[in-house]
Structures are given as C-alpha cells and as structure tokens.
Structure 1
Amino acid sequence: RANNVFYIELDNYINNKLVLEIAIKALNNIAGLNSLVSILLVFRTYLRINIDSALSLNIITRANTI
C-alpha cells in the first residue's frame, strides 16, 4: 500500500526501484521491536534492493541488534 502511495505521488520524478526502496525504508522506520518478523522481512527485501550498494552503518547496527 505504501508503495502505491509513493508511486502515485512521485511517478514523474523517480523510477520504480527508488519508489520501492523509499516504501521499504519507511516501513523499516515504522516497525518496532514488537514486530520482529516484519523487521526481518524488511531487511531481507531492503538488502536485495541494495545488493550493489555498500551497507550503511545504520543498517548494519540494526541488523546486529536483531
């Protein structure tokens, strides 16, 4: 659902991959420790999207915490 909102709002400005990345990052920031399964799913998807990019320290810290 978040992906659709971002896609509609930003359609003329960025491509589909960036829209998906923004939606996943937003979900990742919303998910709390009480929804561990959601966080793990977000990380798996987020890491696949950014397979060619170096991981930021923030992502590594969150992954180690989990």
Structure 2
Amino acid sequence: MVEPDDPPRKEGPPPPCPICGKPAVPAFRPFCSGRCADVDLQRWLSGRYAIPTGEQGPGDDDPEA
C-alpha cells in the first residue's frame, strides 16, 4: 500500500554507476558492483573526497595562527 506522503517512484533505467558509468545494480545501488562501491569508499577514507566547510585551520593563510 502506498501512503499519500510517499514520493512518486521514477520509472526507467537506474542511473549509471558514478565510478565507471555502467548500469547500476539494485544490490549495490548506486554502484554496479562491490568493487566500485569499495573504490568509492577508499576515495572517502583517503581524503580524495572532501566536503568544504568554509573554516580555515591553523596555517591556512592565517598569519595569526
């Protein structure tokens, strides 16, 4: 049963894997495989992906630090 507050589901093919571009597989969504999911996790853990905060740390062009 669909509740009235549930957003409508999109029909059609799933979006491509953000790592390799192959079609996503529901078991690993949004990725196509466990390998691509692991590649993405490694990128987060190594600091390759970062969310900017707008804050500067010591030594970041701050002469008073």
Assess same fold via TM > 0.5.
Answer: no
Q: TM-score, normalised by structure 2?
A: 0.28
Q: TM-score, normalised by structure 1?
A: 0.28
**Rg larger in 1 or in 2?**
2
More helix by share: 1
